[in-house]
Structure 1
Amino acid sequence: MAQNLSIVVVEEDRERALVIVDALREAGDYEIHVLGSRTGLARQIKALSPDVVLIDIENPSRDMLEELAIASDPMERAVAMFVDRSDEGLSDTAIEAGVSTYVVDGLQPQRLKPILDAAIARFRMFQRMRTELAETKKALEERKLIDRAKGMVMKARGVDEDEAYAILRKAAMDQGKRLADIAAALVTAAGLLS
């Protein structure tokens, strides 16, 4: 995220929005946008493309909570939600919807900066975990493809596993491609021929 953070504040009450904006200005040099209506929220947030969405609501329902979280696109940015009251299970719902930080007992200006920092840190941590998980899944799928291609080479050429791997690796090097790409092409071609 950029050094000069862009923050969207979702607050329908003008007076509360001004308190939040003042607290943010005291806390740091932020680019601040206030959205006073939830109508078209997802579109507005997407257009502004902020680093953080800060939502302040008094007493959310489960549906409102999920709607706000999803509109904020928590996979793309940190989302900090401040509520005055919270029914049982709503904090779990918020976290499951991707909210980075869910604070009950309202927004207190003096606590805003550390809470935003925590939301950003948590978002970054989950972003790294999602990236690592995707890379691990991709590596596993590629490993399965390579093993399948090795089996095909072993059967077609009557060689052992090490020789089949060497044949695939040489083909990849000769063609300037990744081993996984050669394996995928072989598996696809074999599927077309059978």
Structure 2
Amino acid sequence: MPAPLKIVVVEPDQARAQVITEALHESGWADVTVIADDSSLTRTLDDIDPDVVLIDLRNPRRDSLEALSETSGARQRPVAMFVDQSDPELSSAAVQAGVSAYVVGGLSGERIRPILETAIARFGIMSQMQSELDAAKQALAERKTIDRAKGLLIHAKGLTEEEAYQLLRKTAMDQGKRMIDVAQALVTASELLR
């Protein structure tokens, strides 16, 4: 039995929406909301806050992708998009918007579960990679600030690099702060005194 998910299906055709909803229910997902009009997709996704978005459009509009991108809908949750025909420009726009799965050839009931599971897994991997990238950027920025603070101490007090590092570390420990906070305060004070 799949984990309970709140799924939004974007499908203007009522008959196709019914097929999709039934396939989702047969796969064990009961909390399904169908959106027939994607013109207010941004507001609707904000209101519903689904776990997964499934878009089945014969002729998807760039507006739908832009709405997903604007609300970071595709960045906050897995999005699987099913289209009837291949369109390189649209597939590129879908990737840029963060769509987790872009499936050409329409949607059939038996394909829904494996494609949604793949989209969810891919989204998880991409989210983890983004988190790791953000953490690496943060660590690099902090390292630069600490190095800059050490440079200020070396210049002002005639310390070696190791002595400057140890002074920052001791000051942070004495004040019960993180070393980056002490280094940032030193850099900020230095900029104010120029």
Partner residue in 2 for 1:66: 65
Distance in 1 (CA, whole Å) between partners of 2:89 and 2:100 is 16
Deviations 1:129-167 (A, max 9, x none): 111111100000000000000011111111100000000
Q: How far is the alpha carbon of 1:39 from its aligned partner? A: 2.7
- The AA in structure 2 aligned to 1:8 is V
Note the 1:13-92 alignment, pairs <5 A. 13-61=13-61, 63-64=62-63, 66-67=65-66, 69-70=68-69, 73-92=73-92
2:66–2:97 contact (8 Å) kept in structure 1: no
Distance in 2 (CA, whole Å) between partners of 1:88 and 1:145 is 43
Deviations 1:75-102 (A, max 9, x none): 1100000001122332222112110000
Distance in 1 (CA, whole Å) between partners of 2:88 and 2:190 is 56
Q: How far is the alpha carbon of 1:68 from its aligned partner? A: 5.1
Partner residue in 2 for 1:129: 129
Partner residue in 1 for 2:10: 10
Pairwise CA RMSD: 1.5
Out of 82-91 and 178-187, give the one that drifted further: 82-91
Distance in 2 (CA, whole Å) between partners of 1:133 and 1:53 is 25
- Structure 1 residue ranges, 4+ long, deviating more than 6 angstroms after superposition: none
Count of equivalent residues: 192
2:57–2:82 contact (8 Å) kept in structure 1: yes
Long gaps (5+) in structure 1: none
1:141 equivalenced with 2:160 (yes/no): no
Distance in 2 (CA, whole Å) between partners of 1:161 and 1:40 is 57
Deviations 1:152-185 (A, max 9, x none): 1111111100000000000000000000000000
Scaled by the length of structure 1, the TM-score of the pair is: 0.94
Scaled by the length of structure 2, the TM-score of the pair is: 0.94
Q: Call closer, same or farther: CA 1:74–1:183 in 2, change over 3 Å.
A: same
1:149–1:186 contact (8 Å) kept in structure 2: yes
Distance in 2 (CA, whole Å) between partners of 1:82 and 1:103 is 5
Distance in 2 (CA, whole Å) between partners of 1:91 and 1:146 is 43
Distance in 2 (CA, whole Å) between partners of 1:129 and 1:75 is 12
2:172–2:182 contact (8 Å) kept in structure 1: yes
Q: How far is the alpha carbon of 1:121 from its aligned partner? A: 0.5
Q: Call closer, same or farther: CA 1:121–1:56 in 2, change over 3 Å.
A: same
Distance in 2 (CA, whole Å) between partners of 1:99 and 1:47 is 20
Long gaps (5+) in structure 2: none
Identical positions, percent: 52
1:157 equivalenced with 2:164 (yes/no): no
Out of 82-91 and 22-31, give the one that drifted further: 82-91
